[in-house]
Structure 1
Amino acid sequence: MTAADLSVLSVTLPAESGVARLYDAPDLADAFAVRLPDNAIDDPELLARFLFAHQAGWVMHLLKLRDALVARFGLKTSAQLRKEAATGSRERVDIFRIYTRSAREIILGEDDSHLDFRLSVLQQTRDIGNGRARYLVLSTVVHCHNGLGRFYILAIAPFHRAVVRSALRHAARVGWPTT
């Protein structure tokens, strides 16, 4: 594995993603990409499950801190979302509800009183200097409903970006599942 294979790029929201036109004026919209090895599986749901199953340890500590803080404001915690996943009829990837899936993309997310968000896990083929390569692009869009949502996004945006970059880098370091 080369250093280039671990490099996480900040990219524009892919036009072909189902989240690109979801909200007229999203309160947060970002996308990050990492190169996939040629022999990596091509199922976006399996890639998403792998990605969330291989988080760095500090991410779980950060999530616990987030849960302790947001519970005071009546917002959903990861424990509540996991409970919904265990008892609900909706399919989930980790704590996120599955909204749509296709051969190249799965869209996950959650709705709450303060905001709605969607997360796209999209496989994309990109031109590189000597040919083409597959990339996994993680895109997030958020629509806030009120001041609490806008404050929340403002407060967590730097952490969100660090977590997304870390998740992609960590999964690449562990080694993507292969065909």
Structure 2
Amino acid sequence: MRTGHSRPTSVPLPAESAVAKAYASTNLADAYAIELPAGASAQPELLARFIFAHQPPWIGRLMKVRDALVAGFGLKTARHLAALEAESGAGRLGIFRIYSTGPTEVVLGEDDKHLDFRLSVLCSGPSSTGARRRLVLSTVVHCHNRLGRFYIFLIAPFHRWVVQSSLRSAARSGWPPAAEA
């Protein structure tokens, strides 16, 4: 559904999101919201699939660099995670494990020896003031050790750039209409 697109904005972690209380302590927590146009799907899993399918090409190249750097530390690579999806199909959305799905939110993530993380794609309805629906992509990370904390320190700026660029790219591509839901 092609319409004018809005820009993602940094917002507080939504209290209604399952990831808001995913961990007792977090080493990274952020959320970015983008307005959904009228007529766009409100199904969070469909929207998550759409976002990941419409990422800018440079994100794939960045993931290859990341994989080359972390493979020597025994961390999971995108290639390894993609192979898990190919093997099981169910319960995964691309490189991410699906932890829960509901009418307004899908929670994705992965656990590894250095850290665990969860991503939420949450669709909120229009408010009583008539504001449009919005999609909020939230991330929370819990580190297990120094490697995890060092990793987050290094990738946090890239993470924020990737999230915002992914939302902008999906909006430019045109959100899937509610009819596809």
**Does residue 80 of structure 2 align to residue 80 of structure 1?**
yes
Moved more, 165-174 or 80-89: 80-89
Deviations 1:106-149 (A, max 9, x none): 00000000000000000013549x62210010000000000000
In the superposition, the TM-score normalised over structure 2's length comes to: 0.93
Taking the TM superposition and a 5 Å limit, the aligned residue runs for 1:1-179 are 1-2=3-4, 5-88=5-88, 90-125=90-125, 127=127, 131-179=130-178
3-state SS in 2 of match to 1:118: strand
Give the gaps of 5 or more residues in structure 1.
Answer: none
Higher relative strand content: 1
Q: 1:21, CA displacement in angstroms? A: 0.8
Opposite residue 105 of structure 2, the aligned amino acid is E
Deviations 1:57-103 (A, max 9, x none): 11111011000000011100000001111113651111000000100
Deviations 1:7-63 (A, max 9, x none): 111000000000001112201000001000110111110000000000001111101
3-state SS in 2 of match to 1:48: helix
3-state SS in 2 of match to 1:6: coil
Opposite residue 154 of structure 1, the aligned amino acid is F
Q: Per the alignment, do residues 40 and 89 of structure 1 end up closer, same or farther by CA in structure 2, a change over 3 Å counting?
A: closer
Opposite residue 73 of structure 1, the aligned amino acid is F
Moved more, 113-122 or 79-88: 79-88
Distance (Å, rounded) in 2 between the aligned partners of 1:27 and 1:86: 31
Q: 1:6, CA displacement in angstroms? A: 2.5
Q: Percent same amino acid among aligned pairs?
A: 58
CA contact (8 A) 1:26 1:142 kept: yes
Q: Per the alignment, do residues 41 and 89 of structure 1 end up closer, same or farther by CA in structure 2, a change over 3 Å counting?
A: closer
CA contact (8 A) 1:90 1:97 kept: no
Deviations 1:123-179 (A, max 9, x none): 013549x62210010000000000000000000000000000000000000000002
